[in-house]
Chain A
Amino acid sequence: MDSAEPILSLKGIGKSFYGNRVLADVSFDVGAGEIIGLVGENGAGKSTLMKILFGMPVISETGGFEGSIFFNGKEARFKTPFDALDAGIGMVHQEFSLIPGFTTTENILLNRESLNRSVLVDIFGPRISTLDRAAMESRAKSAIDKLGVTLDPNMLIKEMPVGHKQFTEIARELCRENVKLIVLDEPTAVLTESEAEVLLSTLRLLASEGIAIIFISHRLREVVELCDRVVVLRDGHKIEDFPAKGSSTKQIASLMVGRSMEAQAKIDAASAARTIQNGSDAGETVLSIENLWVDMPGETVRNVNLSIKKGEIFGIGGLAGQGKLGIPNGIMGLSPAGGSVVLNGMPVALNAPRAALERNMAFVSEDRRGVGLLLDEGIDWNIAFTAMQVQNKFLKPILGGLFLWRSDAAMSNLAEEYIKLLEIKCTGPGQRAGNLSGGNQQKVCLAKAFALRPDVLFVSEPTRGIDIGAKHLVLDTLKKYNREYGTTIVMVSSELEELRSVCDRIAIVYEGRIEGILPHTAPIEDFGILMAGADRDEAPVALVGGN
């Protein structure tokens, strides 16, 4: 805790990708033996900050960054991750970067194995010498002992419990000669409660030995317990930098999702203008979901119960990794799911994308390039395809209906219509979707869903990674479609402000369950509580809060 002279200090760090400002004037220090909790919603700039710290090539390729980094008192500009590693910064990723078929020792010392120098080195180069297994094992053991955990150095990674894998990665970072700072990105995301506890105590142990730690996590309870100070990032700005002691998860959560001034004005204006025409309990239920579970990697849905009113814009929010994205993917059959989903009184078959589409439900996926688009085909194909396959639109029967002939003319007319409607900037309906800008691609995905004239439209992260102008247009179009055609829209987004400005009611998902449903006019703090899953954990934190 004695931060005589900070190991790392970031001064005025800024970064923008193609004119899109991602980080603005972020500065904070990390002293030796100090644990900093770095929190912020997805897209708040956390991962970009780490990429800048590690000198990832993607940063230099997109025009470098503003501000300066001081490491060990000296100005440091790491051009490649290896410079950062050699300087003494270790990184533990969320997905394990371990070799499954290697033992713990081999993984810990990957590419830094101790060799017994062979006589052939001069001729064939250093890599010809054989490995000194004994020395490797003792080095690995000493690193593991530093962690204060027991790991079998000869066990293969693929036979290891998840917790042990995490410790192996940390041990690998520890094994670097002059490690002074370790960055952990969502380390507890895949751990059970008990494993997480052991990890936290290990990190405290490391800190006590003078190693600085940056702990990135969405589990705010852990951040409060473990860290000395908490740095909150939102929309690329450092909002707060305060000692963790005495703070509460509720406070941190609301800081994370709190709104900057101009965004606030926008919401008040929008909500005031919109009369409450579809009140929360008026109108009959169009879609009711009971005990829904969805096996989607990183977005597991454990047990969700919802009922959505006809003509309503229903919002689903929550922190990253809590399972909000799993809900639409499960219902639309794209990820394995179970439970009961009833549309207009009739149950919908799960795990069958066709069934969901045939029941007039459409889905704009969050994974635009992967799921949402045919990058090699033209805009006309992209928009008309699903409607053609599911509702036989844009097809002319030939030979007396024996075959269905695709009418390219009808498809390009449809594309023209949506290009005008959504102001898609392109050279024409034939342009390949691949070379459209992010915003225009999102509009094409929307057009694809609108072409289906759905009763219920699921939209997932509609405004992620697109410019401000396109954001407004996309949201306005959704609202227009809801008003004119009465389409019920279920919008899943991590941008709470957007949800509050567009949706009537907003459900917050925490650890795969609905934590609570609030009207869009509810104060921001209430959302903060639900997002941190606070009410269930409030009790224990209060008890323990005194430490």
Chain B
Amino acid sequence: MDSMKRFAADFGLPRIIITLYLFALFLAAPFVGVNLPASISDTLIRIGMNGIMVLALVPMIQSGCGLNFGLSLGVIAGLLGATISIEMGFVGAWGFVAAILISQAFGAVFGYGYGKLLNRVKGGEMMIATYVGFSSVMIMSIAWLILPFKDPTMIWGYGGTGLRTTISVEGFWRHILDDFLVIQIGENFKFPTGAILVFAVMSFLIWVFFHLKIGTAITAVGSNPTYARASGINIDRMRIVSVMMSTMLGALGIIVFQQSFGFIQLYEGPLYMAFPAVAAILIGGAGVNKATLTNVFIGAALYQGILTMTPSIFNAVLKVDMSDVIRIIVSNGMILYALTRKTKVAK
């Protein structure tokens, strides 16, 4: 019995409530005429879309840099990759790969600078990450207006300079992953094998990374920086590696997101992108300086499950769409819960 109690204690009351809430939604679905297979398939698609964004938080949490509210920097790198790939006219799979490669280059550069900054402000990372993320989104918005993009599908209709706010990836690499080896059961259950596959592969790579020598060192830096320093680890370099990884994964994540969403959202699109990912990994059980892959899987599944099930169930039952309000309360409630736990690292 006490192992149950221990599991409940460390799993945390709010997490239990959320899991029960989602479970209730899934149970209620058939009774209120909500098509269960469609909802499950919708949830899976969204897990494929957002999974990598949640995964991107793991390196920085492990290295003790805290919750990466500045994930939008990675998203910006991804947007640059996508737009440049479209500008160069790459289409289909090659366009998708080009977008990813370009975005990884930008992600590395942004991550390096961002990591250097965070090393100067050890202890106060989270708030600074938030506002560095916000200001860089705004600088990019100015850049989107000025950068010399020519591709007709992207620039404003009447030939002005500057890119449109949302650019369709229709002709380029829309659903390239979702439709890859897609498993279609019945008319409304679609398993996005491509996206889930990429998410699984990336998670495996992260798992491998944290089994390498450098990964072990990063985990030690997060767990006790003085111990790591006394063992000859160059703490600042390890933190920069973790920030670069987080930013590059963010860049990859947004591109996978866009191929499924079908649109690239520029200007203020990425402003609040970090918060759903942070909420998801916290719902999954991560702490402010400890995150495992199970946290990512459980978190992404729970969070996206709630996001898909709440609107359909509430519409069916109460004829009112409170899903937006519930999403805000649940995700921010989880972040608040994590922030008020007693941890010494990464304010």
Contact = CB atoms under 8 A, between A and B. Distances in A.
Q: Verify that A and B bind, or say they do not.
A: yes
Interface of A: 332, 334, 353-354, 357-358, 363, 365, 367, 370-377, 381, 385-386, 388-390, 392, 395, 403-406
B336 interface: no
A84 B185 CA distance: 77
17 contacts: A353-B230, A353-B231, A354-B232, A370-B224, A370-B226, A374-B220, A375-B223, A376-B223, A376-B224, A381-B216, A381-B220, A385-B227, A386-B231, A388-B216, A389-B233, A403-B213, A404-B212
Interface in B186-245: 211-213, 215-217, 219-220, 223-224, 226-227, 229-234
Contacts of A375: 223-224
Contacts of A363: 230
Contacts of A354: 232, 234
Contacts of B219: 377
B122 interface: no
Instruction: Name the residue among A353, A357, A370 with the largest chain B CB count within 10 angstroms.
Output: A353
Dominant SS among interface residues on chain A: mixed
B213 A392 contact: yes
A409 to B, nearest CB: 12
Given A354-B234, A373-B224, A375-B224, A395 B213 contact: yes
Contact of B231 (A376, A390, A403, A404): A390
B212 A405 contact: yes
Nearest to A392: B213
Contacts of B230: 332, 334, 353, 363, 365, 371-372, 386
A334 B234 CA distance: 12
B231 A357 contact: yes
A377 B231 CA distance: 15
B347 interface: no
Interface string B36-80: 000000000000000000000000000000000000000000000
Tell me the interface secondary structure of chain B in the complex.
Answer: helix
B327 interface: no
Contacts of A389: 213, 216-217, 231-233
A357 B290 contact: no
A374 B223 CA distance: 6
A242 B2 CA distance: 58
Contacts of B213: 388-389, 392, 395, 403-404, 406
B232 A403 contact: no
B241 to A, nearest CB: 14
Interface residues of B, number: 19
Contacts of B231: 353, 357, 385-386, 389-390
Given A353-B232, A372-B227, 6 more contacts: A353-B230, A385-B216, A386-B232, A388-B213, A403-B213, A406-B211
Interface string B131-166: 000000000000000000000000000000000000
Interface of B: 211-213, 215-217, 219-220, 223-224, 226-227, 229-234, 290
Given A373-B224, A376-B290, A334 B229 contact: yes
B293 to A, nearest CB: 16
A358 B232 CA distance: 9
B117 to A, nearest CB: 24
A403 B232 CA distance: 19
Contacts of B233: 389
Nearest to A353: B232
A371 B226 contact: yes
Contacts of A406: 211-213, 215-216
A390 B232 CA distance: 7
Contacts of A404: 212-213
B290 to A, nearest CB: 7
B209 to A, nearest CB: 9
A403 B216 CA distance: 13
Contacts of B227: 371-374, 385
Nearest to A370: B226
B229 A353 contact: yes
Contacts of A358: 232
A534 to B, nearest CB: 35
A307 to B, nearest CB: 25
A4 B227 CA distance: 56
Contacts of A334: 229-230
Q: Nearest 7 A-B pairs (CB), nearest first?
A: A354-B232, A386-B231, A404-B213, A357-B232, A374-B223, A371-B226, A376-B223
A353 B234 CA distance: 9
A143 to B, nearest CB: 38
A374 B211 contact: no
A377 B227 CA distance: 12
A354 B234 CA distance: 8
B206 to A, nearest CB: 14
B63 to A, nearest CB: 14
Nearest to A452: B231
Contacts of A386: 230-232
A395 B226 CA distance: 23
Contacts of B224: 370, 373-376
Nearest to A377: B223
Contacts of B211: 405-406
Q: Please indicate which of the listed interface residues B212, B230, B290 has the most CB atoms of chain A within 10 Å of its own CB.
A: B230
A395 B211 CA distance: 10
Chain A CB within 10 A, most for which of B216, B223, B233: B216
B35 to A, nearest CB: 45
Contacts of A372: 227, 230
A354 B228 CA distance: 11
Nearest to B226: A371
A366 to B, nearest CB: 12
B221 to A, nearest CB: 10
B341 to A, nearest CB: 14
A20 B325 CA distance: 57
Contacts of B220: 374, 377, 381, 385
A395 B215 CA distance: 12
Contacts of B215: 406
A389 B219 CA distance: 12
A388 to B, nearest CB: 7
Output the residue of B213, B217, B219, B229 with the most chain A CB within 10 A: B213
A394 to B, nearest CB: 9
A464 B270 CA distance: 54
B270 to A, nearest CB: 32
A252 to B, nearest CB: 36
A197 to B, nearest CB: 38
A373 B233 CA distance: 14
A375 B212 CA distance: 21
Nearest to A329: B230
Nearest to B211: A406
A403 B212 contact: yes
A324 B209 CA distance: 41
Contacts of A385: 216, 220, 227, 231
A404 B220 CA distance: 17
Contacts of A371: 226-227, 230
Q: Which of the listed residues B213, B217, B227 has the most CB atoms from chain A within 10 Å of its own CB?
A: B227
| Most central of B219, B223, B232 by chain A CB within 10 Å | B232
A364 B223 CA distance: 19
Contacts of A353: 229-232
